[in-house]
Amino acid sequence: MGVGGAVIFIFALLALYMGIPGATDIQYRQEHNAVAATSTASVSVIPVPQGRIATHLPTPDAVRAVYMTSCVAATPSIRDGLVKLLDDTELNAVVIDIKTFDGYLSFSPQDPVLKTYEGGCFVKGMQDFVDVLHEKGIYVIGRVASFQDQLQVKLRPDLAVKKETSTSTVWSDYKGIHWIDASSHEQWDYLVKIAEEAHAIGFDEINFDYIRFPADGNMKDIWYPISGTRKKSDVMREFYTFLHEKLSPQGITISADLFGMVSTNEDDLNIGQVLENALPNFDYIAPMTYPSHYPNGFMGFSDPNKHVYDIVRYSMDHAVTRTVASTTTASQWWGERIGTSTPAVYEKPVFDQKKIRPWLQDNNYPVVYTPAMVRAQIQAAYDAGLDSWMLWNAGNRYSRAALEPLPAPLDIKGL
- Per-residue model confidence as pLDDT tens digits over 21-74: 333 333 333 333 333 333 322 222 333 445 678 999 999 999 999 999 999 999
Give the tens place of pLDDT for each residue, 99-108.
Answer: 999 999 999 9
pLDDT at 228 over 50: yes
pTM over 0.85: yes
Q: Is residue 263 part of a domain?
A: yes
| Distance from C-alpha of 378 to C-alpha of 358, rounded to nearest angstrom | 9
Q: Is residue 414 part of a domain?
A: no
Q: Is residue 106 part of a domain?
A: yes
Q: How far is CA 228 from CA 169, 300, 317, 331, in A?
A: 16, 38, 36, 21
Q: Is residue 239 part of a domain?
A: yes
Q: Is residue 413 part of a domain?
A: no
Backbone angles phi, psi at 171, to 5 degrees: -80, 150
CATH code for position 19: 3.20.20.80
Distance of CA 44 to the CA centre of its chain: 28
Q: Is residue 299 part of a domain?
A: yes
Q: Is residue 163 part of a domain?
A: yes
The pLDDT confidence band at residue 219, using thresholds 50, 70 and 90, is very high
Distance of CA 388 to the CA centre of its chain: 15
The pLDDT confidence band at residue 385, using thresholds 50, 70 and 90, is very high
pLDDT at 362 over 80: yes
Q: Is residue 343 part of a domain?
A: yes
| pLDDT at residue 330, rounded to an integer | 87
**Region 222-246: what's the mean pLDDT?**
97
pLDDT at 92 over 90: yes
Q: Rounded to 10 degrees, what is the CA torsion of 193, 280, 390, 294?
A: 110
Q: Domain count for the chain, please give it.
A: 1
Residue 279 burial by CB count (10 A; 0-12/13-18/19+): exposed, middle or buried?
Answer: buried
**Region 264-283: what's the mean pLDDT?**
96
Range of the domain at 256: 3-402
| pLDDT at residue 410, rounded to an integer | 62
> Which percentage of the chain shows pLDDT scores above 70?
86
**Region 219-241: what's the mean pLDDT?**
97
